[in-house]
């Protein structure tokens, strides 16, 4: 089960640097035992981010889940309670939910999808750790390995365990084009540097199975996010 | 001796991908023994590139030299012959030189300069080699080491030989912000991927000597270019 809810939001003083406040609202709203469970996990079966759609200028809150439990506990909250107003206590800001759209799919459906994807749009600042340091340039193998690990840790239905195939993909995948810039992500009192923009990826050679795996991982990454701090608002992406 | 000549150029069919044609014109115009000498060197005491100024939309041919001999042989050609027309034989295109500006300085002058520089604008596609592969993301240490090597190989007046200081700089320098995209550079029948845009660099800590060295290297890099194929048109930069 993979699910995504996107809410167009509006409010005086609202800006895209408020991801962590929305995350706080989310954790306060859902079942507290499940919120505690999430709190003590290192990686999470969900993402949450605030981003501005560049074409329309509208601001969205996107929440994604990638197992059944997270879907039931997080996304269903918005559907069942018909949430129309969100109060951000710390800032005293009242947010209005103007519209909601939902997408549901499955790992199987994405694996056998015929849509060919190669472009990643980073909607919110993204970063990953290499050699103990948060990086400001993307490493596509590291980012995809993060997706694989999240699938293996949280999926109810599949495991990606063929190390030979995975290693071959991670060795052969590369960034063909990019258009990126640094941008700070604001997390309470700290700033984390990341990159936003877009890039296009390719694989050396013509192995059909690797292309299918890459295509699958890219589509799943819309749900898992890319890089670190994806529950708090970093690494929110779209695939094209 | 560091010198730079910038010519505003115009012509039907002229575009920024013609750097190698202009380089061919240059080599055909100057003393043939010196052209041969340059041909058999691995690195060169000059750069040549064609770039479009983004604000004015005007196209420029920039030639820089960083030793006396190169200045005498290359830049003086334009001054002494009052070049107003450039014929690009291969394309049959007549280019008009609309204006010429010249800058001369010295390594000493730049070393003791009080201007503080931290931003690099990549005017033409730039790339450098790491692990035998041309890279599409900048590594600032590698790029600055290239400048140091060019100074040491070609300067008439200075050598940068304090390895401890150089290593400390290369370890502590980092990219603080960037705004970059990939762009192809066209070289006869091959395309080389590089990046254009700009970035801002900083040094960890507050060592005054390292700041002075960095400032010096940045200013010199306007003359040496950055990365590979700087004689043919890649790695043309401005400092700000």
Q: How far is A178 from chain B (nearest CA, A)?
A: 5
Q: Looking at residue B39, what is its pLDDT?
A: 84
User: Is the pLDDT assigned to residue A46 strictly greater than 90?
Assistant: yes
Residue in chain B nearest A174 by alpha carbon: B136
pLDDT tier for residue A1 given thresholds of 50, 70 and 90: confident
Nearest CA in chain B to A135: B175
pLDDT tens track for A72-108:
999 999 999 989 999 999 899 999 999 999 999 999 9
Same domain for B91 and B139, yes or no, is no
Please tell me which of the candidates B137, B177, B181 has its beta carbon nearest to residue A179.
Answer: B181
Specify whether A235 is located in the same domain as A166: yes
Same domain, A85 and A74: yes
CA distance A165 to A216: 14
- Are B122 and B92 within one domain? no
Query: Digits of tens for pLDDT over chain B (240 positions)?
Result: 899 999 999 999 999 999 999 999 999 999 999 998 888 887 899 999 999 999 999 999 999 999 999 999 999 999 999 899 999 998 999 999 999 999 999 999 999 998 889 999 999 999 999 989 999 999 999 999 999 999 999 998 999 999 999 999 999 999 999 999 999 999 888 999 999 999 999 999 999 999 999 999 999 999 999 999 999 999 999 999
Minimal CA–CA distance to A197: which of A159, A169, A153, A238?
A238
| Test mutation, A137, A141, A142, chain B, max B CBs within 10 A | A137
Q: Does the structure show a pLDDT above 90 at A43?
A: no
The CATH number of whichever domain residue B22 belongs to comes to: 3.30.70.1890
| Listed residues A105, A123, A140: the one ending a domain | A105
Based on the domain organization, do B82 and B25 belong to the same domain? yes
Q: What strands, in cross-sheet order, belong to the sheet with A2-10?
A: A46-52, A59-65, A2-10, A93-105, A85-88
Same domain for B118 and B234?
yes
Mean pLDDT of A116-125: 96
Quick check: A188 pLDDT over 90? no
Same domain, B148 and B82: no
What backbone phi and psi angles, to 5 degrees, belong to A189? -95, 5
Q: What's the average model confidence in pLDDT over A211-232?
A: 97
Distances (CA, A) of B101 to B47, B65, B110, B226: 16, 14, 19, 22
Question: A114: exposed, middle or buried (C-beta count within 10 Å: 0-12, 13-18, 19+)?
Answer: exposed
- Among B126, B131, B136, B199, the strongest candidate for a mutation testing the A interface, having the largest count of A CBs within 10 A, is B136
* B86 plus B15 within the same structural domain: yes
Domain match, A176 and A86 both:
no
Which helix (H) or strand (E) segment holds residue B85: the answer is strand B85-88
Question: What pLDDT was estimated at residue A115?
Answer: 86
Q: Which residues of A touch B181 (CB under 8 A)?
A: 177-180, 197
Of A178, A181, A182, the CB nearest to B182: A178
User: By the CB < 8 Å criterion, does B137 face chain A?
Assistant: yes
How much is the pLDDT for A134?
95
Task: Indicate the average pLDDT of chain A.
Answer: 95
Asked whether the beta carbons of residue A179 and residue B175 sit closer than 8 angstroms, the reply is no
Percent of chain A with pLDDT over 70: 100
Main-chain phi, psi angles of A115, to 5 degrees: -65, 130
The last residue of one of the domains, among A56, A80, A105, is: A105
From CA B232, how far away is CA A235, in angstroms rounded?
39
CB contact under 8 A, B136 and A180: no
Q: Are A66 and A46 in contact (CB under 8 A)?
A: yes
Q: What pLDDT score does A78 carry?
A: 92
Q: Tell me the residue range of the domain where A146 lies.
A: 107-239
Q: Which of A23-32, A138-147, B86-95 has the highest mean pLDDT?
A: A138-147
How far is B177 from chain A, CA to nearest CA, in Å?
Answer: 5
Predicted confidence band of residue A231 (pLDDT cuts 50, 70, 90): very high
Helices (H), chain B: 19-29, 32-39, 68-70, 76-81, 107-111, 140-154, 163-172, 208-224
Searching chain B, which residue's CA lies closest to the CA of residue A179? B181
**Whether the Cβ atoms of residue A230 and residue A49 lie closer than 8 Å to each other:** yes
> How far is the alpha carbon of B112 from chain A, nearest alpha carbon, in Å?
32
Set of chain B residues whose Cβ sits within 8 Å of the Cβ of A182:
176-179
ipTM reported for the complex surpasses 0.90: yes
- DSSP-assigned states of every residue in chain A: -EEEEEEEEE-TT--GGGHHHHHHHHHHHS-HHHHHHHHT-SS-SEEEEEEE-TTT--EEEEEEE-SHHHIIIIIHHHHHTT--EEEETTTTEEEEEEEEEEEEE-HHHHHT------EEEEEEEE--EETTEE-SS--HHHHHHHHHHHHHHH-SS-----HHHHHHHHHHEEEEEEEEEEEEEEETTEEEEEEEEEEEEEESS--HHHHHHHHHHHHHHHHH-SSS-TTTT-S-EEE-
What CATH number did the domain enclosing A126 receive?
3.30.70.1900
The residue of chain A nearest to residue B198, with distances taken between CA atoms, is: A181
pLDDT of residue A234: 97
pLDDT bin (cut points 50, 70, 90) of residue A189 is: confident
Is A112 in the same domain as A40? no
Q: How far is A210 from chain B (nearest CA, A)?
A: 23
Report the 3 state secondary structure along B49-77.
EEEECCCCCCEEEEEEECCHHHHHHHHHH
Closest Cα in chain B to A194: B177
Q: Give the count of beta carbons closer than 10 Å to the beta carbon of residue A34.
A: 15
Of A74, A105, A136, which residue sits at a domain end? A105
**pLDDT at B171 (0 to 100):** 97
If asked whether residues B14 and B98 sit together in one domain, one would say: yes
- A181–B182: do the CB atoms touch at under 8 Å? no
Same domain, B134 and B24: no
CB distance A203 to A169 below 8 Å: yes
Give the contacts of B175 (CB within 8 A, at least 6 positions apart): A136, B138, B140, B199, B200, B201
Those residues with Cβ within 8 angstroms of residue B62's Cβ, 6 or more apart along the chain or in another chain:
B4, B5, B6, B7, B47, B48, B49, B50, B51, B123, B236
Name the B residues in 170-209 with CB < 8 Å from any A CB: 175-182, 197
Q: Are B136 and B227 in contact (CB under 8 A)?
A: no
The pLDDT score that the predictor gives to residue A180 is 98
The count of structural domains within chain B is 2
- CA separation, residue A201 to residues A131, A149, A162, A207 (Å): 23, 20, 22, 15
> What is the bridge-based pairing of β-strands A93-105 and A85-88?
antiparallel
């Amino acid at each position: 089960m993979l699910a995504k809810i996107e809410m167009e939001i509006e409010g005086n003083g609202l800006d895209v640097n408020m991801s962590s406040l929305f995350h706080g609202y989310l954790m306060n709203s859902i079942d507290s035992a499940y919120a505690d469970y999430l709190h003590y996990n290192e990686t999470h079966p969900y993402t949450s981010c605030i981003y501005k759609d560049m074409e329309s200028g509208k601001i969205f809150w996107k929440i994604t889940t990638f197992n059944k439990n997270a879907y039931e506990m997080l996304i269903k909250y918005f559907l069942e309670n018909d949430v129309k107003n969100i109060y951000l206590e710390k800032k005293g800001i009242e947010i209005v939910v103007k519209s909601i759209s939902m997408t549901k799919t499955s790992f199987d459906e994405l694996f056998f999808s015929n849509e060919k994807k190669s472009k990643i749009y980073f909607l919110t600042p993204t970063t990953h750790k290499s050699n103990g340091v948060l990086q400001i340039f993307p490493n596509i193998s590291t980012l995809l390995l993060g997706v694989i690990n999240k699938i293996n840790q949280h999926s109810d239905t599949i495991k990606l365990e063929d190390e030979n195939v995975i290693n071959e993909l991670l060795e052969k995948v590369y960034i063909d084009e990019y258009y990126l810039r640094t941008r700070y992500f604001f997390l309470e009192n700290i700033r984390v540097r990341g990159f936003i923009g877009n890039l296009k990826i390719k694989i050396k050679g013509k192995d059909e199975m690797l292309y299918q795996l890459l295509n699958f991982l890219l589509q799943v990454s819309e749900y898992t996010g890319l890089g670190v701090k994806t529950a708090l608002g970093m690494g929110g992406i779209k695939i094209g």
